[in-house]
Amino acid sequence: AQKVTQAQTEISVVEKEDVTLDCVYETRDTTYYLFWYKQPPSGELVFLIRRNSFDEQNEISGRYSWNFQKSTSSFNFTITASQVVDSAVYFCALSEADAGNNRKLIWGLGTSLAVNP
């Protein structure tokens, strides 16, 4: 069973629209971390944010914001006033503190965002 689900495979918006990328995760651990990465068309993977399971405060960084809700096991990412440069594939990932799993990130399959002028 997939532990990180990004249900939106592709999203297309027009510039200046707000867009939310969904991430739902499954874990039995009480201590875990959630990440978002961006992969622009050039191909590199860029770290955006890390959130630990004990910090449910929402995070805002410029036009980017993240909504972490443990009650729904979601860690959603919103881009406000989207721009063409936001076009990329966005990945959500989970790491668990359990001794057997603590070496790796569990990745979602990504959401491809196209922002059209």
Partner 1 sequence: DAGITQSPRHKVTETGTPVTLRCHQTENHRYMYWYRQDPGHGLRLIHYSYGVKDTDKGEVSDGYSVSRSKTEDFLLTLESATSSQTSVYFCAISESLAGGGGTQYFGPGTRLTVL
> Which positions touch partner 1 (CB under 8 A)?
33, 35, 37, 43-47, 50, 52, 91, 95-99, 101-105, 107-110
Shortest Cβ 15–partner 1 spacing (Å):
26
Please tell me the distance from the alpha carbon of residue 96 to that of residue 28, in angstroms, as a whole number: 9
Shortest Cβ 100–partner 1 spacing (Å):
9
Shortest Cβ 1–partner 1 spacing (Å):
15
For partner 1, give the closer residue by CB, 36 or 82: 36
Q: Is 94 exposed, middle or buried (0-12, 13-18, 19+ CB in 10 A)?
A: buried
CB atoms within 10 A of CB 18: 12
Both tokens of residue 77? 């990412």
For partner 1, give the closer residue by CB, 61 or 117: 61
